[in-house]
Structure 1
Amino acid sequence: MAKTFTLADVSTHKDAENGLYIVIDEGVYDVTNFVDEHPGGAKILKRVAGKDASKQFWKYHNEGVLKKYSEKLRIGSVEEKAKL
């Protein structure tokens, strides 16, 4: 069963030591082991780690990308709707 996070929980996962989590829409994704594989570079994921990256994600990706990686990277969802 998927875990439920608060935005405060996600915000603590913004470096390699604690893991790199991002929120896309209401899903929480652990990109710690994906950061070096990211075609756009690690810097971009590190910049949005611990935050809601929905706006940035949808600017450059389509739903097919989310579906492709969701099973591998999604670890849960946020309790409240993420808004930044």
Structure 2
Amino acid sequence: MADKQFTVSDVAAHKTPEDGMYIIIDTNVYNITDFVDEHPGGKKILARVAGKDATKQFWKYHNEGVLKKYSPKLKVGTLKEESKL
């Protein structure tokens, strides 16, 4: 099954718990709505990057193992090729 494709503006529309909270890491899109309460760093940090590209912040504090662990549960798709700047 092909990944759902998102544009940057699709992701930007998902920045509140009511709309669903999505973030971009590299070229993947993750739904973190139900994860904010579990996040060891607290929900405030995730609320700040919801609807945005969090790649830089993510890699500053996490390693590949974190992505491998949570990806199956949180990944909802990928960025459309033309939406990358």
Given the two structures, how large is their TM-score scaled by the length of structure 1?
0.94
For residue 46 of structure 2, what is the aligned residue in structure 1?
Answer: 45
Unaligned stretches of 5+ in structure 1?
none
| RMSD between superposed Cα atoms in Å | 1.1
**Which secondary structure does the structure 1 equivalent of 2:36 belong to?**
coil
Alpha-carbon separation, structure 1, partners of 2:23 and 2:78: 10
The alpha-carbon distance between structure 1 residues 14 and 72, as it changes in their structure 2 partners (threshold 3 A), is same
For residue 31 of structure 1, what is the aligned residue in structure 2?
Answer: 32
Unaligned stretches of 5+ in structure 2?
none
Give the drift of 1:82.
4.4
For residue 20 of structure 1, what is the aligned residue in structure 2?
Answer: 21
Alpha-carbon separation, structure 2, partners of 1:3 and 1:29: 11
For residue 6 of structure 1, what is the aligned residue in structure 2?
Answer: 7
Alpha-carbon separation, structure 1, partners of 2:65 and 2:21: 22
Which AA in structure 2 matches 1:15? T
For residue 60 of structure 1, what is the aligned residue in structure 2?
Answer: 61
**Which secondary structure does the structure 2 equivalent of 1:76 belong to?**
strand
Identity %: 66
Alpha-carbon separation, structure 2, partners of 1:38 and 1:17: 18
**Which secondary structure does the structure 1 equivalent of 2:67 belong to?**
helix
Runs of 4+ aligned residues of structure 1 deviating over 6 Å after TM superposition are none
